Amino acid sequence: MTSVPRTVVITGASRGLGLASACELYKRGWRVIGAMRSVDAGLAAIRELTGAATGDPCLHGVQLDLTDARSVDAASEAIVDLVGAPDVLVHNAGIAVAGFAEETPPAEWHRVFATNVFGPAALTNAFLPPMRDAGRGRIVVVSSTSAVRGMPLAAVYSASKAAMERWAESLAAEVAPYGIGVTILLAGTYDTDLTHDGAAVYRDDSGPYGPQRPRMEKRGRMAVRLANPPQRFARSLARALERDRQPIVHRGAGVDAKIYRSVARLMPTIAMHHMIRVGLGQPRFGTLGASGADRPATEGNA
């Protein structure tokens, strides 16, 4: 008797971590459904990297735009009609915006949260009824070190990822009685579009934050050069899907993510603040303010 392969739905499967994950899980025998904006291009990329044949029953693509409620409903209905309740839903799709919080337009806050938080929540809600009926399932949230500690130049992205983690934690408590688990997978620095030119950038070099930019951007470019290949993340995801059986699991994907998460748990808030400030080459407290010279010495040296 031939066993039915487990089914995983991966959002944003046409590139980056999603593409690498789709390929890795397909090679490991999963039935992969890539939910993505560019279905034809995404499937072509997966087939090229895995050797999958056109029409392979273990590889499907479904059009999905997380910012469009009708697209979310249509995608979830198509997937349930095709395979029933998926064993795993991986929330990988996401976008980023680079810029100081004050300089980032309100519209970008809405766009990032619609893609990174509201869309995934709506897609999950669509799959929960069939998952409950099946008495099983796992929701995987791909998070970021920016969710552990808000990062300068990434306020919008940090806030969206932190919101996603708090939603996932709440969800885990709500769905655990029905046999549905949640994994929060904290991604470190990986070589994807987001680490290069994939994020919208808002900057005003003549504005008050202009003096901070050159050194921060230089340090950021140095970090990108140390980024890991996406395939390493995909292997971490595959291992998590094999091992995670608890109602909620919070784990790092990559050595840097694991170290950062541990340090953040142990280090006081002000120590984390200074570690990030020094790492990014930011000025000390009060040094760019008009009244900086009048501040108490304990603050000026902070």
Angle at 39 between CA 132 and CA 234, to 5 degrees: 65
Residue 8: name the closest of 68, 74, 62 by CA. 62
Q: Which of 26, 157, 190, 209 is catalytic?
A: 157
Distance of alpha carbon 81 from alpha carbon 72, whole angstroms: 14
260 is a catalytic site residue: no
The dihedral built from the CA positions of residue 270, 272, 277 and 278, taken in this order, carries a sign that is positive
Are the beta carbons of 127 and 82 closer than 8 angstroms?
A: no
Active-site amino acid positions: 157
